[in-house]
Structures are given as C-alpha cells and as structure tokens.
Amino acid sequence: MENIFQAWQQHSQNHTSSFKDEASRSAWLKTQLSTWNQKDYPTGESWKYVNFKDIKNLPLSKSLKYPRLKIMDQNEFYLIDVGPTHDIEKLDNPLKEHFEIAALNSLSFEELQQVQKKLDQHCDLQNPFAQMHLSFLDHCYRLKIKKNTVLNKPIYLRWNNNTEVNNEFSLFHFIVECEENAQAELFLDDKSQGQKSFNSLRLDLFLESRSQFKVYFQKSEADQSYSFYHAHGTLKKEAQLKHFDMTHPSLWTRHNLNFELAESGSEVHLKGAYLNNKNNFSDHHTRMTHHVPQTHSFQDYRGLLDDKAKAVFNGLIQIRHHAFQSQSQLINKNLLLSTHCEINTKPELQIDNDDVKASHGATVGRLDPDQLFYLLSRGLTEKESRQILAKAFIAGLLEEESPLVKKFYGETLNLTLSQFGEVELGL
C-alpha cells in the first residue's frame, strides 16, 4: 500500500495545526503507526478474488482535501452535506437540540481516549483499508443521539467529493453513538466519484441498551472510481439495528460489514443488493458474530449481473460457545442476465454451540423462460421483459419498506436498471 502510505505521510506532515491540542494529535498518531507497519496489499481467503494491480499503480494525489459539513433542517430530513475543502472549517450545528456532532480533531485528549477505546473494539488488522481511516483524524466526525431521544425524521448524510479530477484520494469516517433508548434513522448517500480515484467511507456504530438505529446506504454514482465502504457495529442489551446496502455499478467496489451482538436480546437485520454490468467488479463481505445468548440476526442479499460483470459475496455467521438459544439466517440470491458474467458466492457458518438455530443458503440462476414468454406474448420487447423481471427481483427487498425509503432508492434504481438487459439471450 505504498501509494496510499505516501499520501497519508504527506498529509500528516503538511497539516499539524488542525487539532485542539498537539498532545491529542501526537498520542493518536502514535497509536496508529501500526496501521502502516505492513504496507503490502492484503492477501488471504477474503481477498482472493480482488485484483489490486490497478490500485497499486494509481498515482494518488498527495493533496488530500478536508471534509466540510453543512447541517440544515429540510422538509423530510435533517441534512448533513459533506463536501471537500482545502482548509479546516469550524462546524456549526443549528440542530444541536436534536443531536450532537463534532469533529474528532476538536475533542480534548480525554475525549479522544474514550473514542479510541471504543474504536479498539472494531480493530480489523486483516482489512488495512478500514484501519487506515484511524490515521486521518481530520476526516472523522462523531454523531451522538442522546439518551431517550427519538428523532422525528431521519438524518440524511450526503457525501460528495465534487471532483472530476483523476487520481483523487478521498476519505470520510463517521462514528455514531446511540445512547440508551434512543431511536434514529440515517440515510447515507455516497456520491463520491472521480476518474480512477480512490474513495473510502467508514461507518462505526455503537448502540447502547434498548436503542434502535436504521441505516440506509447507497453508492449512487456510477463512475470509474475504486470505492470502499466499511461498516462495523456493536450492540448492547436489546439494541436493534437495521442496515440496508444498495450498490450501483462502479468500476471497482468493496464492502465490509461486521456486526457484534455483544449482549443478550440484541438484533441485526441486513438487506443488500449489488447491481453490476459492463466490466465492473464488486465484492461484499458480511460478518455477523453472536457473542452471548439469545441474540438474533437476519441477512438477505441479492445480486443482479449483466454483460461481463463480476461479483463476490461472502457472508459469515459466527455463533460463539456461550451464545446458546441464538438465531441467525442468511440468504444470498443472484440473477445473471448474461452468459459472460460471473458470481462467486460463499455463505458460511461457524457454530460453537448446539443449542442454536442457524441457516444459510445461496442461489444462482437466470430469468425464467416461461415468465419471459408471458411478457413477450403481451407485446413487450425482450429487453423490456428482461428489465421488468430484473426490477421485480431487486424490488422484492423494498416491499416492506416505508415510502420514504422507496423514494430514496427508487430514482437511482430505475436509472440503473434501464442500463440492464441490453444483451439479448433469446428464448
């Protein structure tokens, strides 16, 4: 990871006055140097389908821009608009009565130590792309939903690096702390782009007892960038998390979602869809770890592939020795619209306790000829028929969602699906 290390090194040398105090900066960076001790790109089972050749050769820009946050109250959302800036800007939160948000470089040394202790729970040395975010303190913000707070409308966070520059290096790290009995929703719209650029977004979630939090994520800009998304959550007693992940075609995409059910009664629901066409590549890895008794998880991921696209899905369920009477289910369905596309799917179970209920499965198939024939007999073209069936396959994930969620995903989903079905297979 020499090119990424050099970008970080240049950035850390050039920006030394953005912290509340130098002790905070020095202490933080000292703990993060281990991130760069191993600068090779990762290998191993979970990376075996990933070709890093093009990323290794990216001459990434050393001029890394800071995120600039603008917060405002809109009709349907509390909007947090994240864009680039060359200088650190003071954060103004006109909605502080609803939630707290702060840049990590504005925290005191003691506060920073508390954040560090929490992030240590999410350490993943096998994923240096997630770990490297800890070295860019300037690009991290913390959102806190206070105890017993119930937000009356969702937070809409829109990340847009606003760049048409080649080889741009863009990062954003968002930490969410949801305190006891708090309830909130986050719509996370990744609009980062750039020709042959490197864009990475990390989300850390900490849900305290009986809190409820929902995340609706989409990578909505189809572009020629290399995009990473890392989400890691820890749930306390009876906390509930829902995470929906929609990925539209992009040159190269890797998503890692890890969740720790750390106390009894906690529950996670994951839904996701990846849509790939042309020569695009996507790789989705989920890991659900049941640490204690009576925890529950459910995963439903669907893939739609066309042309010469490639995709990877790896879903891992871990049920630890003491996690008796836990329940977990994982299903991955894939629909191939072309004879040239490729999917590698691997649902996994690692169970250390017999007193549990766990299931997993994966399917790979093509469009039903009878359904195609029916639509063709009603006067539709083959392309129109194929697109209708493809849309129905993905839209099944949205059936139980609210009108606002359907609206959030709908426009981009319709635009993406209009690009599918170009290759006619015949009946």
Q: Between 252 and 39, whose confidence is greater? A: 252
Average pLDDT rounded to a whole number, residues 44-56: 85
What's the pLDDT tens digit per position in 31-44? 555 555 555 788 88
Give strand ranges (E) for 262-375: 267-276, 281-290, 296-305, 310-319, 327-336, 342-351, 357-365
Q: Between 26 and 336, whose confidence is greater? A: 336
For residue 126, name the pLDDT band (cuts at 50, 70, 90).
confident
Report CA torsion sign: 397, 398, 402, 405: positive
- In single-letter form, the type of residue at position 270 comes to L
- Amino acid 427: pLDDT: 32
Highest mean pLDDT among 49-58, 88-97, 370-379: 370-379
Q: Is the pLDDT of residue 16 over 60?
A: no
Give the Cα separation of 406 and 402 in Å (integer).
6
Strands 267-276 and 296-305: parallel
What's the pLDDT tens digit per position in 112-123? 888 888 998 898
- What is residue 150's DSSP assignment? B
- Amino acid 425: pLDDT: 37
- Amino acid 222: pLDDT: 61
* N residues, the chain: 427
Are 104 and 137 in contact by the 8 Å Cβ rule? The answer is yes
- Amino acid 68: pLDDT: 83
Are 208 and 178 in contact by the 8 Å Cβ rule? The answer is yes
Give the Cα separation of 132 and 124 in Å (integer).
10
Nearest to 210 by CA among 186, 243, 241, 231: 241
What's the pLDDT tens digit per position in 282-302? 999 999 999 999 999 999 999
- Amino acid 344: pLDDT: 97
DSSP H helices, 80-121, are 109-120
Tokens 């959030």, residue located: 408
- Amino acid 192: pLDDT: 75
Give the Cα separation of 226 and 167 in Å (integer).
10
Q: Is the pLDDT of residue 399 over 50?
A: yes
Nearest to 276 by CA among 392, 414, 411, 416: 416
Are 222 and 250 in contact by the 8 Å Cβ rule? The answer is yes
Are 95 and 70 in contact by the 8 Å Cβ rule? The answer is no
